[in-house]
Structure 1
Amino acid sequence: MTVAASTPSPAAPERAAGLGPWLFEARAMVKLALPLIAGQLGLIAMSVTDVLMIAPLGPTHLAAGSLAFMLYFNIWLFCLGVLIASASLASQARGARNFKGVRRSIRQGFWVAITLVPPAALALWFGGDLLLLTGQDPKVVALAEPYLRAIVWSLPFSFGFLVLRFFVSALSRPNTVMIGLIAGAVVNVPLDYLLIHGALGVPALGIAGAAWATSLIWVGLFAWLVAVVLRDREFRRYHVFVRFWRPDWQRYREIWRIGLPVGVTLIAESGLFGACQLLMGLIGTLELAAHAVAIQVASVAFMVPLGIGQAAQVRVGQRFGAGDRAGVRRAGWMAMLLAGVTTGAAALVMWFAPEAIVGLFLESGSPIDGPVFVLAVNFLLVAAVFQLVDGAQVAMVSSLRGLSDTAWPLVIAVLSYWVVGFGAAWVFAFPLGLDGVGVWMGLAVGLAAAAVGLTLRFVLRERLGLLDRPAAA
């Protein structure tokens, strides 16, 4: 059934805005990206709150929390990558004004999400054994294991939230998601305190308390977004829950075909950070604790270009679906420009004020925190250097996802992160004796290689005229 949408068509002529094409694209992308960035900051704020609440328990607990979250996040990120294919397909269908295609993509996105829950849950439940196989300190792993078994219960709700998030974003309504994620971040603060440290009759659960707080937040976020989709007039017109159990194997397979390389690509990048975290654990507990702080700061900064990249995926997908080759080109390069500006600003802050930033997490004069503080400051100086290339790679890979181009980015990611990046991290850290700083230098080299490779891929598609061939919606 064809549905008349209430929002303007994404393929509407740019002349209607009374602006030049590039200025029009900049305005449209910023308008879409700002709430996505705010939502991402709300999401990462929950992780930052966990670190802040766990830090007073001591470096060993902080290291354990860092390891547990690393394993959980990599599994969750892989699943997000698979599900993100529904966003590309829904955006392309929206651009082609194929509203049935939007409904099919989101409904089968739920089917894929249900498929992903059991293997992800098993990997987390036995995550302690996986960490021990990597040579981590058994005492640290023993503290991490309760976190992993508590966070398992969040999976079906967080995956369902992601699918609905892609739905509302494909319709250029990201404010809806932003409100929920910011509210979740606010509620997470008292929940973390209650469950980690114990208060008001609630027992102190330690690191596991952070996982239970996160699980409760995901339950609330999913329930809230379901209610919004069912009540909002525009969202209701797509009937995403009607005949939910009716199979659509063609679209189900299409999501896997596009999404599986994306999931592996995300794991290739995030896995590089995770592997480097394991290298930190081999170097020492203090280095691992300092890495946990520095990676949180870098992750917060990354939320801005990530939001821009998500906006680029939607904008490129809509233009691709509408057969607008020039619009695809403008959206991709505008994402690169905006990401460069924002990551440049973040790099300046990290370079000139690392002590102030790390001071938000640790006390420089404390006999316990002091050594970790110094290490974290040094790591953050290297993080400042790779901000620009990190923004470039996420802008380009997101633009390629909007084109449903996921196979070659996977090859580029594996070579860049694991051959170049991890290889450089190991060489710098051990043979060259740079320890933790060397690990972070390897991260920078891997991200730079990915930025170059993905940019060349986008340029090649442009040169070969592959920006105006929309996939079937």
Structure 2
Amino acid sequence: MESDAEILPVAGRSEWRDELRAMFSLAWPLMLANLTTQIITATDVLLMGWLGATQLAAATLALNLTYTFNLLLLGLLIASSPMMATALGQRSNAVRDVRRTFRAGLWLLAFTLPPYWLLLWHVGDIMRALGQTEELASQGQTFLRAYMWCTAPWLLFQLLRNFVSALERPAVVLWLSVAGIGVNAALSWALIFGHFGLPALGLVGGGLGSTLTWATMCGALILFVSSDRHFRRFHLFGRFWRLDWERTLALVRLGWPIGATMALEMGVFALAAYFMGWIGTPAVAAHAVALQLAALTFMVPLGLGQAATVRVGLALGRGDRAGIARAGWTAWIVGVGFMGAMALIMWIVPRALVTLFLADVPENAVVIGLAVGFLRVAAAFQLVDGAQVIGAGMLRGLRDTKWPLVFALVGYWVVGLGIALWLAFSLDWRGVGIWIGLASGLAAVAVLMIWRWIMRESLGLTHLRHG
């Protein structure tokens, strides 16, 4: 086994500065794009909160199911990122290989979206089966039947984003995401409450506003990559009707563990929302607010993890073992440091953050109090949350996806869920116990991810495997 100190014996400060510069150049648009995308979701949560705690709880429960399945499909598409990056690193036949991978992503969407939409159409039945009240299930279904159609443009936008990121030019995604904040806020506000001459559609308006926003953003990105000189040479949509079974199956083989890993993490958080529903509607609303705040900070290490996948993948394609180590550790150190700073802010001023989403009035006192307690626990798991997502991105760049799936299964569903149920219901710690369980699961996964990264040489992960 060779350590990183042995792999990088002569790497001076200039190499690390160059890597930091390259990493940050790639990561900052991704981080901000992630952040702006999450702000779009947070805007929906904010507007639902203005409708009332019950509407917020219903929409949150429905969205949590959507997020879980969205991430499963997204994982299949995320596999295109290291595949494209490795092809570009090898340089030979890069244009053809990138186009084949992109086309495989299009076919995956064509195969998976129809059954997914059928599932979402009946989300109310799923919510009832998970023990939610008739009122929450009915309102959640009303919202999601308008919202569910945004999954197609959202997923296609992510596939296009992987393409521009692999070429290390992700800034266009940032600017479109920034524009999307304003478009979504205006559309959803107008359609929910009835402004600009539009009818007040309530929950339906919120779902419709998100669908129109993502359709607009996706259409704009398609036009850009089809016309920009740097991108159009790939002819991404050329003969898109040709089904490439070999590349599509390769994308599935690499991507299904990524999607399953992400879905397992989100699934635990979604299930936690349903546990909150067993405790009461105020607990669900408080969980939604605390989770949105935690999700906003999470967007930075998520972007660093995405950048690490590309940078590590490029180094893997070149056969540059020292470059692999520098790319991974640079992203990890920066991301964990940022999350440490965010943890301090959450711990010091949790109430000020919570009341950004909920008016500080007597009728919201219970929800605010619960959300503040949850956010203090969220502060404690900021470090491990950042460590695990960047660790996953580092391993993804090495095309290592199956063991991270095992880590997620054990960490989230055995350690995290087990501790959450024990603390919440056996010890009667209720909502805080659920959040401590979530934090424990994240910590377990973070330790396992970084252990595998450290062992990458002895495990043979730095040798490029084709297929």
TM range (shorter): over 0.9
Match of 1:200 among 169, 184, 196: 196
Q: More displaced, 196-205 or 305-314? A: 196-205
Q: Distance in 2 between matches of 1:222 and 1:140?
A: 31
What residue is the counterpart of 2:90 in the other structure? 96
The reply on whether 1:233 has 2:229 as its aligned counterpart is yes
Superposition RMSD in Å: 1.5
Q: Distance in 1 between matches of 2:416 and 2:106?
A: 34
The reply on whether 1:455 has 2:466 as its aligned counterpart is no
What residue is the counterpart of 2:5 in the other structure? none
Q: Distance in 2 between matches of 1:444 and 1:406?
A: 22
The reply on whether 1:421 has 2:399 as its aligned counterpart is no
Q: Distance in 1 between matches of 2:367 and 2:444?
A: 30
Q: Distance in 1 between matches of 2:245 and 2:74?
A: 20
Q: Equivalent residue of 2:240, what SS?
A: coil
What residue is the counterpart of 2:440 in the other structure? 445
What residue is the counterpart of 1:4 in the other structure? none
Alignment of 1:148-227 (within 5 A): 148-227=144-223
What residue is the counterpart of 1:395 in the other structure? 390
Letter matched to residue 32 of structure 1: L
Q: Distance in 2 between matches of 1:377 and 1:319?
A: 43
Q: Equivalent residue of 2:447, what SS?
A: helix
What residue is the counterpart of 1:281 in the other structure? 277
What residue is the counterpart of 2:80 in the other structure? 86
The reply on whether 1:28 has 2:22 as its aligned counterpart is yes
TM-score by length of 2: 0.95
Q: More displaced, 244-253 or 392-401? A: 244-253
What residue is the counterpart of 1:310 in the other structure? 306
Q: Distance in 1 between matches of 2:457 and 2:387?
A: 17
Letter matched to residue 125 of structure 2: D
Alignment of 1:293-372 (within 5 A): 293-364=289-360, 366-372=361-367
Letter matched to residue 189 of structure 1: A
Q: More displaced, 229-238 or 202-211? A: 202-211
What residue is the counterpart of 1:126 in the other structure? 122
Instruction: Give the conservation status (yes or no) of the 8 Å contact 1:82–1:256.
Output: yes
Instruction: Give the conservation status (yes or no) of the 8 Å contact 1:33–1:310.
Output: yes
Match of 2:62 among 68, 75, 83: 68
Q: Distance in 1 between matches of 2:319 and 2:204?
A: 49
Letter matched to residue 144 of structure 1: G
The Cα offsets for residues 346-370 of structure 1, whole Å up to 9 and x where unpaired, read as 1010000101101111233x22111
Q: Distance in 2 between matches of 1:471 and 1:115?
A: 27
Which blocks of at least 5 consecutive residues in structure 1 are unaligned?
A: 1-13
The Cα offsets for residues 116-150 of structure 1, whole Å up to 9 and x where unpaired, read as 21121112111111111100111111111111111
Q: Distance in 1 between matches of 2:82 and 2:324?
A: 13
Letter matched to residue 399 of structure 2: S
Match of 1:139 among 135, 152, 177: 135
Letter matched to residue 156 of structure 1: A
Letter matched to residue 465 of structure 2: A
What residue is the counterpart of 2:372 in the other structure? 377
What residue is the counterpart of 2:400 in the other structure? 405
Q: Distance in 1 between matches of 2:89 and 2:205?
A: 44
Letter matched to residue 200 of structure 1: F
Q: Distance in 2 between matches of 1:131 and 1:339?
A: 36
Instruction: Give the conservation status (yes or no) of the 8 Å contact 1:36–1:307.
Output: yes
Q: How many residues align?
A: 456
Q: Percent identity?
A: 47
Q: Distance in 1 between matches of 2:99 and 2:238?
A: 10
Q: Distance in 2 between matches of 1:240 and 1:50?
A: 32
Instruction: Give the conservation status (yes or no) of the 8 Å contact 2:132–2:278.
Output: yes
The Cα offsets for residues 264-308 of structure 1, whole Å up to 9 and x where unpaired, read as 100110111011111101011111110011000000010011111
Letter matched to residue 219 of structure 1: A
TM-score by length of 1: 0.94
Instruction: Give the conservation status (yes or no) of the 8 Å contact 2:400–2:461.
Output: no
What residue is the counterpart of 1:8 in the other structure? none
Q: Distance in 2 between matches of 1:174 and 1:236?
A: 15
Q: Distance in 1 between matches of 2:459 and 2:67?
A: 37
Q: Distance in 2 between matches of 1:212 and 1:82?
A: 26
Instruction: Give the conservation status (yes or no) of the 8 Å contact 2:78–2:255.
Output: yes
Q: Distance in 2 between matches of 1:397 and 1:278?
A: 27
Q: Distance in 1 between matches of 2:49 and 2:346?
A: 21
Q: Distance in 2 between matches of 1:406 and 1:460?
A: 15
What residue is the counterpart of 1:267 in the other structure? 263
Q: Distance in 2 between matches of 1:286 and 1:407?
A: 38
Q: Distance in 2 between matches of 1:430 and 1:375?
A: 16
Q: Distance in 2 between matches of 1:119 and 1:471?
A: 33
What residue is the counterpart of 1:115 in the other structure? 111
Following TM superposition, by how much is the alpha carbon of 1:154 offset from its aligned partner in structure 2, in angstroms? 1.7
Instruction: Give the conservation status (yes or no) of the 8 Å contact 1:421–1:445.
Output: yes
Instruction: Give the conservation status (yes or no) of the 8 Å contact 2:31–2:303.
Output: yes
Letter matched to residue 326 of structure 1: A
Q: Deviation above 2 Å: which 4+ runs of structure 1?
A: 462-466
Instruction: Give the conservation status (yes or no) of the 8 Å contact 2:59–2:144.
Output: no
Instruction: Give the conservation status (yes or no) of the 8 Å contact 1:329–1:462.
Output: no
Following TM superposition, by how much is the alpha carbon of 1:462 offset from its aligned partner in structure 2, in angstroms? 2.8
Q: Equivalent residue of 2:198, what SS?
A: coil
Q: Distance in 1 between matches of 2:184 and 2:416?
A: 34
Following TM superposition, by how much is the alpha carbon of 1:19 offset from its aligned partner in structure 2, in angstroms? 6.0
Q: Distance in 1 between matches of 2:242 and 2:106?
A: 12
Following TM superposition, by how much is the alpha carbon of 1:198 offset from its aligned partner in structure 2, in angstroms? 1.1
Q: Equivalent residue of 1:201, what SS?
A: coil
Letter matched to residue 417 of structure 2: F
Instruction: Give the conservation status (yes or no) of the 8 Å contact 2:398–2:461.
Output: no
